[in-house]
Amino acid sequence: MRYIPANTTARQALETALKTWQSGTAHGPITSSKPEIHVFEARWRGGKKLESFEIVEQLTGQEHPQFTVKLKLAGQPEETTTYHVVGIDPLNIFGEADYKNVWDNNN
């Protein structure tokens, strides 16, 4: 069984997750989405406020969908980061730092 979502599904899930964060919703599973979305993003979990975001592009040639995103967090300069989307149900979205932590701890 493959655990890699379709590119359009991955992008929609990422957009849903970022809009949920931007709306001020507390970090946690997004159960209103089908499939459910689990977000691994330390800044959101830590209470940082997302003011704005822009999904810039999907990175090509990757084993699973990855997207470059510009984020503007409250009180911080704009930054560019990568989000990784894996899984089918639930969909799991990892911020770059969280993805590296999981990968480093499992290898």
Q: pLDDT tens across 41-98, in order?
A: 999 999 999 999 999 999 999 989 999 999 999 999 999 999 999 999 999 999 998 9
Residue 51: inside a domain = yes
pLDDT band at 104 (very low <50, low <70, confident <90, very high): low
Tell whether 2 is covered by a domain: no
Rounded to 5 degrees, what are φ and ψ at 71? -120, 145
Residue 5 amino acid letter:
P
pLDDT at 101: 82
In a domain, 28, yes or no: yes
**Model-level pTM?**
0.92
What is the C-alpha to C-alpha distance for residues 34 and 66, in angstroms, rounded to an integer? 20
Residue 94 sits in a domain whose CATH number is 3.10.450
Domain that holds residue 58: 7-106
Per-residue pLDDT band for 3 (boundaries 50, 70, 90) equals confident
Alpha-carbon gap, residue 33 to 49, rounded angstroms: 21
- Residue 86 bridge partners (DSSP): 92
Number of domains in the chain: 1
Residue 74 per-residue DSSP state? T
Q: Indicate if the pLDDT at residue 1 is higher than 50.
A: no
Is 14 a member of any domain?
yes
